[in-house]
A and B are shown apart, each in its own frame.
Chain A
Amino acid sequence: MSEFHAPADQAANATMRKIVTFRVDQRTFGIDVAAVREIKGWHPATPLPHVPPHVRGVINLRGMILAVYDLRARIGLGITAATPAHVILVVDVHERVAGLLVDAVSDIIDVPASAVRPPPDVQTCDQMLSGVVIVGEEVVSLLALDRAVDANPLVNTYPTLPSEAA
């Protein structure tokens, strides 16, 4: 994973963003490479009581307790039937480290910062997205991580997806 942390071309080209893209259901999401600590395979989590369904529980990450959030459940598509093929993105969110359960990691892409557009409809997307970017045929929804890995239920679900809107 170390190449993820390479200083990249940030200095050379400050207007480029390095994005990790991953898939949930049929959709592609992205987050900044810098936020990703590591990527690990699914490991059964210990469920927590009295939490919303998208909080899958906690796992042991080298002696550290890591809370894992199910992104599919988070966006209202039901709980992921996790298999060892599923992936947990270990991400930094503010002072915390959290796990984000996704179907698979797709790619690492460079996108010009200017290509990132605001999320299409704030009303329907809640605050889960920080923006969208179109790469080739594909719409990549950039996640607002602090909202994605929040235990509080979303104000509303995710009826319209950018890919469908586009």
Chain B
Amino acid sequence: MDPMALLKQSFLEECDELLSALERCLQEMDTGATDTETVNAAFRAIHSIKGGAGAFGFTEIVPYAHGFEAALDLLRNGKVRVADAPLGLFLRTADAVGACVGAARSGQPAPQFPDLIEALRQFVSGGGAAAAAPVMPLAAAAAPEPPPVEAACGHHIRITPHDDLFRRLVEPPQILQSLETLGEPVLTCDVSAVPLLAALDPARCNLRFDVMLDSAATREQVEDVLERCFDADELAFISPAAPAVVSPPAVVMRGSADGMTGSVSGAAAATAGDEAMPAGSAGYEAAAVAAPAVSAGDSALAAARQLPLMSPLPDASGVVPTLKNRPAMVRTIRVDLDRVDRLMNLVGEIVITQSMLIDRSRDLPVLHALQLTEGIEALTRQTRELQDQVMAVRAQPVKTVFQRMPRVVRDLATMLGKQVRLATCGEDTEVDKTIIEELADPLTHMIRNALDHGLENPDERISAGKPVEGVVTLSAEQRGGRIVITIADDGRGLPRDKLLAKAISRGVMAADAKPSAAEIDALIFHAGLSTAEAVTDVSGRGVGMDVVKQNVEALGGRVTVESEPGKGCTFALSLPLTLAVADGMVVKVAGQRIIVPISSIMETLQIANCRPGSLPGGSEIVRLRGQVAPLIRLADLLELGGSGQETVVISAETDRGEIIGIAVDEILGQQQVVVKSLEASFGPVAGASAATILGDGMVALILDIDALPALVARRGQRPQPDQPVLVPHAA
């Protein structure tokens, strides 16, 4: 790909980021943020999009961006209050820009939304009228400037520079030179305002210029050129009808700029040095070229000149902005995610190599092993830190997903005619980027469900004695090695009777089954049962909670539901913080090594010390932390052939807060393990969330603590049925 195409692509990527920043700002405004920083940030975002779109030739984006920018500028200048801003229009415009960006990326023709451009134009011109003067003209195409009055025969422009002309390093030869592209300029310099030498400040410009330009160019073209270096109020176009007055004491510069060497500062000094020049020549009082009062600002500037570099300067409003009260500079670079992934993989390999080294060192004579230990310990520490740092690079706050949801809620609530408030908390909880990316779809879907099926219509709510406004709460928190995201609504709860009826009619459940409420609620995750009674435009898109469940499980997570009729419904997603590395305890069960995630372990005990016993039904229990907990013999559960060698109980807590005792033969140690998906190479394995590679190259399963209670329950339901026993190998 050629560099320009790459740049364009990179710009379009940037547009996505800018649009998401823009949308975030708009959401903040929608929820009452009126601070100028929010408006400024929105303005900057659209401004950057506009600039880039123009520069890269994505002209179809420009009109929207331009109108949007102009509209935001009204807010920025306080001409329109943020509370009065047409946020709906703004959001739709952001979408339109997004659609254009998408079209540009895929090379499709850009979609057209002329109504948006018109609406923005009307907003801007209306707002501008209210504020006496439009702040910024709209797109030239939409609102063409009135045609120039002048005939194309020539121009007389009087340039009356502010006295800071030299400080700005604008030199009159440049003026001539820049006009040469349009025609032949004749420059006349009026030095009448230059004071006598004694009073002269060589840094101040007291000159005035008259330019006669013989050119077919329009006034606009001439303005275009001159306004690069001059303010509009420094320029005056003198109509051909008026007598062209050229003052007597004048220096005339004519011809090519090449001939005019030497700086104007020098020229000014020279003219000022000519004592014959009378100051304040008659007839030029109106010019007011020189003698501006030294403004307060100027003296402040003069004072500031003494200050060290980078000291804050007074701005126009007199407020001294300090670098301190500005947001701290965030120094960032953009890195291709693939590179971070490669880095992560490499760290994973190092972790494996390191455990291999530890394994091998055990085989060395003691003396040599001791010599190695120190190095290995340092390596372990450094590997751990390296890994934490790489993980930190990949970690992102869930905010990046959460912030898309207000928009979903807003749009959907409008469509459904419901009043909904979205409350979020724990937005700063960080989780691996891979997981963040996979979260958006399930969350969007569940929020849609909550609004569409969970929350009642306003009149239903009133008759149920609830506030008209429904509340959907989206929260995230870190629990152990997992992140738990909940989506709760205060609506009607799951329709248990309907779910059960459907399950029975589909043969998912026996007609005479007596399932518990929780079991009925869990049917929502069953394929084909989560469809609403009427397929709505909102969530009836054929994607049900079963798909959400699949997606979440593919990430090594699980989703659960709790519902209370009439009160509401809560879905909880529990996901690993990272997919890459975990801390594990290596245990031995029936000759196999298994990894138990440290994050779930509370303590380890000798089996004799936790008073094992059994319930009348035959299930074994232990006492852990003063309570009775089920005892799970891992060798049985994982079909490794009952070992009967268990000596240790690991007390662990599942993501639902259940405490279980896991009996194993022996604890071998702790180590970091690189999490390798079993899903990808085989499929889901009940009881194992993933696998890892140990130092000796063998694969070990990582125990799925959270799935154990359900697994035990399932085994209990069908006591040793067609148990698929692995036939012992003859060898």
Q: Which of A9-17, A25-33, A45-53, A105-113 contacts B (4 or more CB under 8 A)?
A: A45-53
Which chain B residues numbered 599 to 655 have a C-beta less than 8 Å away from chain A? 637-640
CB of A48 within 8 A of CB of B701, answer: yes
Q: Does A151 contact B (CB under 8 A)?
A: yes
CB of A50 within 8 A of CB of B699, answer: no
Q: B392 → chain A, closest Cβ, in Å? A: 24
Contacts of B639 in A (CB 8 A): 47, 49-50
Contacts of B678 in A (CB 8 A): 48, 58, 65
Known: A50-B639, A60-B693. A65 touches B699 (CB 8 A): yes
Known: A60-B697, A78-B727, A96-B681. A49 touches B691 (CB 8 A): no
In the assembled complex, the Cα of A71 lies from the Cα of B239 at a distance in Å of 97
CB of B699 within 8 A of CB of A59, answer: yes
Q: Does B731 contact A (CB under 8 A)?
A: yes
In the assembled complex, the Cα of A63 lies from the Cα of B349 at a distance in Å of 8
CB of A46 within 8 A of CB of B701, answer: yes
Q: A98 → chain B, closest Cβ, in Å? A: 8
Interface mask (A126-146 → B, CB under 8 Å = 1, otherwise 0): 000000000000000000000
Q: Does B146 contact A (CB under 8 A)?
A: no
Specify the chain B residue showing the minimal Cβ separation from A83.
B731
Known: A52-B724, A79-B729, A82-B729. A60 touches B592 (CB 8 A): no
Contacts of B682 in A (CB 8 A): 48, 55, 58, 65, 67, 151
CB of B640 within 8 A of CB of A47, answer: yes
Specify the chain A residue showing the minimal Cβ separation from B711.
A50
CB of A65 within 8 A of CB of B731, answer: no
Q: Does A34 contact B (CB under 8 A)?
A: no
Tally of contacts, chain A with chain B, CB under 8 A:
86
Q: Does B676 contact A (CB under 8 A)?
A: yes
In the assembled complex, the Cα of A45 lies from the Cα of B678 at a distance in Å of 14
Find the residue from B637, B682, B697, B724 having the highest chain A CB count within 10 A: B682
CB of A49 within 8 A of CB of B699, answer: no
Q: B671 → chain A, closest Cβ, in Å? A: 16
Count of B residues near A, CB < 8 Å? 33
Specify the chain A residue showing the minimal Cβ separation from B687.
A49
Q: Does B109 contact A (CB under 8 A)?
A: no
Contacts of B348 in A (CB 8 A): 63
Interface mask (B696-731 → A, CB under 8 Å = 1, otherwise 0): 011111000000000000000000000011110111
Contacts of B677 in A (CB 8 A): 65
Contacts of A45 in B (CB 8 A): 699
Q: Does A81 contact B (CB under 8 A)?
A: yes
In the assembled complex, the Cα of A8 lies from the Cα of B637 at a distance in Å of 50
Q: Does A116 contact B (CB under 8 A)?
A: no
In the assembled complex, the Cα of A81 lies from the Cα of B683 at a distance in Å of 25
Q: A50 → chain B, closest Cβ, in Å? A: 5
Specify the chain A residue showing the minimal Cβ separation from B728.
A79
Name B726's contact: one of A53, A96, A97 (CB within 8 Å): A53
Interface residues of A (CB under 8 A from B): 44-53, 55, 57-60, 63-67, 78-83, 96-98, 151
| Given A46-B700, A49-B640, A66-B681; 19 other pairs, CB 8 A cutoff | A46-B691, A46-B698, A47-B639, A47-B726, A48-B682, A48-B701, A49-B637, A51-B724, A58-B681, A58-B699, A60-B698, A63-B348, A63-B352, A63-B676, A65-B699, A78-B727, A80-B729, A98-B681, A151-B682
